[in-house]
């Protein structure tokens, strides 16, 4: 039987020590607002998760504001465009010329390490391996979070809770189901991803539409590449030995890319199903949902981490206003402000996925995809709208 612990008072309890949870905690700490972060996994487990790393300018600026951008500013790869590969050729979308903005490639794993190191250096309260987390009194005068750690039950009393614990976390599940509207679209395919310690095939990302299915050539650094191919949702990683993966992705790329692609043993390989998911509203009483706890988009448009960072900014602004003046005006606007961006990104991610992936063997549908891609090649207006959505809102 776990021992009875004690009650600790804080201003904000943050459930989840992924990038959104730790980023929010860093911003609050720099503003003099107390928080405690709870994470059910170990730090090593959280940092080992392989995730995307295409950052919008707004995300980069927020990391700078949090004081965790030194490695990002040194090692991040600035990208002013990307390639669309289709019909055995390519077309470059020059996002910098079209929008005046760029994106930065810097792996989410590295962001996670930077944030965790900053918390450790600051002596911040991050409780890893917090088990059986329970949220209570969400509509009362003060919220409570109970959890097990170090063999005892602990309890936090707080003004607000930030639920940053992902799609399967306890935060969204703590809201009465009748108070939520949940929208979901499951895609009939997944992404098989392979990480390899070899230089990327291109200096910029390459998104490929092919009759065999989608492919993406990405990178984590100048010497580490990340490649993806569309696969069946029923596939297992064991169905895809390295040799089969390399053969398949080269078939889906234009010949010049396939010819110069360096191949080697994978250091990580995984399959991710694709879905669109949005929860409305993103607030219930003193609980605010952040990032994947409230919404998921397919990775095609590189919006997942950027949306989470945008949620963090909106919530941080609301909390900072509340503790500075007592006003809850921005906190009351959190859900509507966050959801406006979420739905726009969901729309774009759906469109980009539909443009580049194979949904069926319907030749008519594939020809329509090629026609729209060709329109991007010839229409500056279409390319500009595409680029504006890709770089995101500041």
Q: Which of 210, 269, 295, 303 is catalytic?
A: 303
Catalytic residue check, 257: no
How far is the C-alpha of 57 from the C-alpha of 63, rounded, in Å?
Answer: 10
**Where are the strands (E) in 150-234, listed by range?**
152-158, 160-163, 181-196, 206-208, 215-219, 225-231
Q: Token match 């963090």: residue?
A: 312
Nearest to 116 by CA among 197, 252, 196, 16: 16
**6 burial level (CB within 10 Å; 0-12, 13-18, 19+):** exposed
**Whole-angstrom Cα distance, residue 153 to residue 133?**
10
Q: E strand or H helix at 148, and its extent? A: strand 143-149
- Give me the DSSP letters along 286-324: TEEE-GGGTEE--GGG--HHHHHHHHHHHHHHHHHHHHH
Count the alpha carbons within 13 Å of 378 in the hemisphere toward its beta carbon: 6
Catalytic residue among 298, 299, 334, 358, which? 299
Instruction: Answer for the pair 31, 320: CB distance below 8 angstroms, yes or no.
Output: yes
Residue 207: active-site member:
yes
Any catalytic annotation for residue 187?
no
Distance (Å, whole) CA 58 – CA 390: 12
Q: How far apart are CA 101 and CA 270, in angstroms?
A: 32
DSSP 167: T
Choosing from 147, 207, 227, 284, the catalytic residue is 207
Among the listed residues 79, 119, 295, 358, the single catalytic one is 79
Cα–Cα separations (whole angstroms), residue 281 to 106, 172, 219, 333, 342: 31, 11, 35, 11, 12
Q: Note if 303 is an active site residue.
A: yes
* Cα–Cα distance measured from residue 98 to residue 376, given in angstroms and rounded to the nearest whole number: 13
- The catalytic site residues sit at 79, 207, 299, 303, 390
């Amino acid at each position: 039987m776990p021992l009875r612990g004690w009650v600790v008072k804080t201003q904000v309890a943050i459930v989840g020590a992924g990038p959104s949870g730790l980023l929010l905690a860093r911003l609050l700490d720099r503003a003099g607002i107390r928080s405690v972060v709870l994470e059910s996994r170990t730090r090593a487990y959280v940092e080992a998760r392989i995730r995307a790393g295409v950052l919008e300018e707004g995300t980069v600026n927020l990391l700078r504001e949090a004081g965790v951008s030194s490695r990002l500013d040194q090692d991040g790869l600035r990208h002013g465009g990307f390639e669309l590969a289709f019909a055995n050729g390519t077309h470059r979308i020059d996002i910098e010329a079209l929008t005046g903005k760029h994106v930065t490639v810097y792996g989410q794993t590295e962001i996670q390490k930077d944030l965790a190191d900053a918390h450790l250096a600051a002596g911040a309260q991050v409780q890893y391996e917090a088990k059986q987390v329970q949220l209570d009194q969400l509509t009362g005068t003060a919220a409570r979070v109970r959890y097990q750690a170090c063999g005892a039950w602990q309890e936090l009393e707080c003004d607000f809770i930030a639920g940053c614990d992902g799609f399967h976390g306890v935060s969204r599940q703590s809201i009465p189901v009748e108070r939520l509207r949940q929208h979901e679209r499951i895609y009939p395919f997944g992404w098989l991803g392979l990480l390899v310690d070899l230089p990327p095939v291109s200096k910029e990302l390459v998104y490929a539409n092919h009759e065999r299915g989608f492919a993406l050539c990405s990178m984590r650094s100048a010497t580490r590449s990340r490649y993806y191919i569309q696969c069946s949702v029923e596939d297992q990683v064991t169905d895809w030995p390295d040799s089969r993966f390399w053969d398949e992705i080269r078939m889906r790329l234009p010949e010049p890319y396939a010819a110069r692609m360096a191949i080697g043993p994978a250091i990580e390989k995984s399959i991710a199903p694709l879905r669109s998911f949005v929860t409305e509203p993103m607030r219930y009483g003193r609980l605010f949902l952040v990032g994947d706890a409230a919404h998921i988009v397919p990775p095609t448009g590189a919006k997942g981490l950027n949306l989470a960072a945008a949620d963090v900014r909106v919530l941080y602004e609301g909390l900072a206003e509340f503790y500075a003046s007592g006003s809850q005006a921005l906190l009351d606007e959190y859900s509507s402000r966050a959801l406006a961006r979420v739905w726009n990104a969901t729309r774009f991610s759906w469109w980009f996925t539909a443009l580049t992936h194979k949904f069926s063997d319907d030749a008519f549908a594939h020809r329509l995809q090629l026609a729209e891609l060709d329109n991007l090649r010839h229409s500056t207006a279409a390319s500009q709208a595409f680029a504006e959505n890709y770089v995101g809102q500041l």
